[in-house]
């Protein structure tokens, strides 16, 4: 996993997730062109997110069935390209919604890419690689808000999906030619067994605690990004759509700064880093709540919030892939169900809170979700884990601490990227 291979997987994640969120800045022109009433344009985004949720349950577990996840990643990218092409060429609403559903369904290639990165990584580099790869998700979510608006202004909203289709096909070819085979030992598992195993994860306390943290974590994240445009477009700021989109770049800076969290997890500090990051998440809302009076504190709060969210997200995935190394695809897919539901909760409640109580209501809501995530983390620390998965997690963290110095001392071949 050299630098450029990590970056390739990060780009795969960014392009795939952008297909789910690309419609948000262009809902109005899309709805008008496709003949969708203004009150129903929310379905343009909703169908992609619904497809994504279904894919987490039905498609991501395939990563534990196939012998080489590279082929699965390439196949999912190819089908994503088909969905984007159908959307770009759609003559009417139903065709576009079908294309968006397909693109959302196969956007779960993100989780397969994370599982692949975790599997081919050495223990002391697993967190670092996961951190870089998942940074592509944040780039796709936040960057899509800026790039989509620019493309739509120049060539129309259909150009956005044409570009996504071309990028997906190009990445599918690159994945097959540039990434190494996993070479996983043992025969492939059966799909039915993997689905049963996925259902069983929800009874495991390690998995459930990390999932609940993710649920409240991304509910807090959604409370900010789904409601932020309302007060920024209103008095006293009255920012344009492009001006509001620039705040996505602010969040991007904070999220990319948390790539260091992967190295902290490799050093065996995933649990304390999670607690510190969740504390920072709670405090960030104190700055974000000042939006009606100052934009500078809002910027500080956004950077802190996105840093905290990405740090916790990377640490959670590091712990889970270490503890469930034999079924990384299933555990990542199940974990992301919590992410998806939490994001939906934050998006659904923040606009109602802002409408009823102003930005103070949204800020209190986001902070409350953050406090709940911190409470789950504290409770999980108070009750120690038992059983095989606790031992696996402990061995993984101990191995990371022992392996890191060895890797540092190991002479690197000349010209190798590190």
Query: What pLDDT band is residue 297 in, cutting at 50, 70 and 90?
Result: very high
Assigned token pair, 287: 């700055």
Is 60 exceeded by the pLDDT of residue 382? yes
pLDDT of residue 412: 39
pLDDT of residue 338: 92
Higher pLDDT, 79 or 111: 79
Is 60 exceeded by the pLDDT of residue 388? no
Is 90 exceeded by the pLDDT of residue 27? no
pLDDT of residue 387: 47
pLDDT of residue 109: 92
**Selection from 161, 168, 132, 382 nearest residue 260 by Cα:** 132
Is 50 exceeded by the pLDDT of residue 406? no
What is the Cα 235 distance to its own chain's centre?
Answer: 32
Q: Cα separation of 385 and 319, whole Å? A: 13
Inter-residue long-range contacts of 83-86, CB under 8 Å, 24+ positions, other chains counted: 83/19, 84/19, 84/161, 84/162, 84/164, 84/165, 84/168, 85/161, 85/162, 85/165
Query: What pLDDT band is residue 371 in, cutting at 50, 70 and 90?
Result: very high
Is 60 exceeded by the pLDDT of residue 62? yes
3-state SS record for 324-361: CHHHHHHHHHHHHHHHHHHHHHHHHHHHHHHHHHHHHH
Q: How far is CA 220 from CA 67, 92, 208, 213, 410, in A?
A: 37, 35, 18, 11, 42
pLDDT of residue 384: 56
Is 70 exceeded by the pLDDT of residue 228? yes
pLDDT of residue 401: 47
Q: Cα separation of 95 and 259, whole Å? A: 39
**For the whole model, what pTM was predicted?**
0.75
Is 70 exceeded by the pLDDT of residue 397? no
283-292 pLDDT tens trace: 999 999 999 9
Mean pLDDT, range 331-360, rounded to an integer:
85
Query: For residue 260, which phi and psi values (nearest 5 degrees)?
Result: -60, -25
What sign does the dihedral 261-262-265-267 (CA atoms) show?
negative
Is 60 exceeded by the pLDDT of residue 176? yes
Query: What pLDDT band is residue 368 in, cutting at 50, 70 and 90?
Result: very high
Q: Cα separation of 334 and 12, whole Å? A: 20
The average confidence (pLDDT) of the chain is: 82
Q: Cα separation of 295 and 286, whole Å? A: 13
Mean pLDDT, range 169-184, rounded to an integer:
86
pLDDT of residue 305: 94
Asked if 131 contacts 261 with a C-beta cutoff of 8 angstroms, the reply is yes
46-68 burial: b if 16+ Cβ within 10 Å, else e: bbbbbbbbebbbebbbbbbbbeb
Q: CB under 8 Å to 351, separation ≥6 — which residues?
A: 226, 227, 230
Topology of 189-408 in CATH? Growth Hormone; Chain: A; (1.20.1250)
pLDDT of residue 256: 72
Higher pLDDT, 272 or 268: 272
% pLDDT > 90, the chain: 33
Range in 109-113, 177-181, 217-221, 265-269 with the lowest mean pLDDT: 265-269
**Ordered DSSP codes for 82-133:** HHHHHHHH-SSHHHHHHHHHHHHHHTTHHHHHHHHHHHHS-GGGHHHHHHHH
CATH architecture label of 1-188: Up-down Bundle (1.20)
Query: What pLDDT band is residue 408 in, cutting at 50, 70 and 90?
Result: very low
Higher pLDDT, 318 or 368: 368
Higher pLDDT, 104 or 393: 104
Residues of the chain with CATH 1.20.1250.20: 1-188, 189-408
């Amino acid at each position: 996993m050299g630098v450029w291979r990590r970056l390739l997987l990060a780009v795969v994640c960014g392009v795939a997730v952008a297909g789910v969120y690309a419609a948000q800045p262009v809902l109005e022109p899309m709805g008008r062109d496709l003949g969708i009433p203004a009150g129903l344009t929310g379905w343009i985004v909703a169908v992609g997110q619904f497809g994504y949720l279904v894919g987490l349950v039905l498609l991501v577990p395939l990563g534990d069935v196939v012998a080489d996840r590279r082929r699965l990643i390439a196949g999912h990218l190819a089908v994503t390209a088909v969905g984007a092409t159908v959307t770009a060429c759609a003559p009417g609403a139903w065709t576009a919604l079908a294309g968006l559903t397909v693109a959302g369904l196969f956007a779960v290639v993100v989780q397969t890419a994370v599982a692949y990165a975790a599997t081919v990584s050495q223990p002391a580099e697993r967190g670092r690689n996961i951190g870089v790869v998942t940074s592509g998700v944040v780039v796709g979510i936040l960057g899509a808000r800026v790039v989509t608006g620019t493309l739509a202004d120049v060539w129309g909203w259909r150009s956005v999906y044409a570009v996504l289709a071309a990028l997906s096909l190009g990445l599918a070819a690159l994945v097959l030619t540039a990434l190494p085979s996993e070479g996983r030992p043992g025969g492939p598992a059966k799909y039915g067994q993997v689905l049963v195993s996925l259902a069983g994860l929800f009874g495991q306390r390690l998995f459930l605690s990390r999932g609940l943290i993710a649920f409240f974590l991304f509910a807090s994240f959604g409370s900010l990004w789904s409601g932020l445009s309302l007060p920024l477009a209103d008095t006293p700021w009255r920012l344009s759509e492009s001006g509001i989109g620039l705040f996505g770049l602010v969040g991007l800076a904070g999220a990319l700064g948390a790539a260091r969290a992967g190295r902290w997890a490799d050093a065996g500090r995933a649990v304390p880093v999670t607690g510190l990051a969740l504390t920072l998440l709670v405090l960030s809302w104190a700055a974000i709540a000042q939006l009606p009076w100052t934009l500078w504190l809002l910027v500080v709060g956004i950077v802190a919030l996105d840093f905290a969210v990405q740090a916790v997200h990377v640490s959670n995935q590091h712990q889970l892939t270490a503890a469930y190394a034999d079924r990384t695809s299933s555990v990542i897919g199940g974990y992301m169900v919590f992410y998806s539901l939490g994001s939906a909760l934050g998006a659904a409640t923040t606009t109602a809170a802002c409408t009823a109580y102003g930005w103070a209501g949204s800020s209190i809501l986001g902070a409350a979700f953050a406090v709940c995530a911190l409470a789950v983390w504290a409770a999980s620390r108070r009750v120690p884990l038992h059983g095989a998965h606790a031992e696996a997690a402990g061995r993984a963290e101990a191995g990371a601490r022992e392996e890191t110095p060895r890797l540092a001392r190991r002479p690197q071949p000349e010209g190798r990227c590190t």
